[in-house]
């Protein structure tokens, strides 16, 4: 839990998580915004985050149980690229739409049928972008059973991925982060309640 407390505080202090009135990419309103694309600007904390993710995967499923990492641009792909280098595993990524020139591929990288992949994402909310990528992966007859996110906003992604027979794991949840920030008196009880009312 030491890492979680330290990292949650870091996210708040560096304004990587902010509280207020925000509109998400989905168009939904949110009382907070978290932008993990800022974390690589702080190399020490970024290295710790990657190491913690590496340890979590090692404990949960083991590196021998998948061949390659897969992600979607852009936030998750940065994390996946760093992790792939650390654990010396291949990396592929799934475009949001088919490339209209060159090879016209959706899945980029060296792939083959029945390859077992591990999905990496930075933040998950409802799981939409991850599910689109999983569907593209399955079309290519590759296998995916697990996905890892740095932060789970706990707004439906776990159940949505279960419907695709994929288990979602996360380094932190928004519930953990806000509870820690509240205990440290960095956010009010009102903010805590606003965030936790969105969790399902």
Rg value, the chain, Cα? 17
Tokens representing residue 75 in the block: 């936030």
The whole-number pLDDT of residue 102 equals 53
The whole-number pLDDT of residue 55 equals 97
The whole-number pLDDT of residue 74 equals 86
The whole-number pLDDT of residue 97 equals 65
- Range list of H helices, 1-139: 2-13, 43-60, 75-87, 128-139
The whole-number pLDDT of residue 200 equals 73
The whole-number pLDDT of residue 103 equals 56
Count CA within 13 A, CB hemisphere, residue 11: 27
Mean pLDDT of successive 10-residue segments in the chain (200 residues)? 92 97 85 96 97 97 96 93 97 78 74 94 92 92 96 95 96 96 96 91
Residue spans of the domains in the chain: they are 2-196
The whole-number pLDDT of residue 104 equals 60
CATH match of 2-196 with 3.40.640.10: no
Which residues have C-beta within 8 Å of that of residue 119, sequence separation ≥ 6? 69, 70, 71, 130, 133, 134, 144, 146, 147, 148, 166
């Amino acid at each position: 839990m030491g890492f979680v407390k330290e990292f949650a505080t870091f996210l708040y202090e560096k304004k990587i998580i902010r509280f207020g009135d925000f509109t998400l990419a989905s168009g939904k309103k949110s009382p907070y915004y978290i932008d993990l694309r800022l974390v690589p600007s702080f190399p020490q904390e970024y290295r710790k985050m990657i190491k913690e993710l590496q340890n979590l995967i090692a404990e949960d499923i083991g590196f021998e149980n998948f061949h390659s990492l897969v992600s979607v641009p852009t936030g998750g792909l940065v994390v996946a690229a760093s992790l792939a280098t650390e654990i010396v595993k291949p990396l592929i990524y799934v475009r949001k739409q088919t490339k209209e020139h060159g090879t016209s591929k959706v899945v980029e990288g060296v792939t083959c049928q029945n390859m077992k992949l591990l999905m990496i994402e930075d933040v998950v909310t409802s799981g939409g972008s991850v599910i689109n990528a999983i569907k593209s992966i399955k079309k290519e007859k590759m296998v995916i059973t697990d996905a890892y996110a740095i932060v789970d906003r706990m707004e439906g992604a776990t159940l949505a991925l279960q419907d695709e027979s994929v288990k979602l794991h996360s380094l932190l949840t928004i519930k953990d982060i806000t509870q820690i920030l509240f205990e440290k008196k960095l956010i009010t009880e009102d903010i805590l309640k606003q965030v936790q009312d969105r969790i399902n």
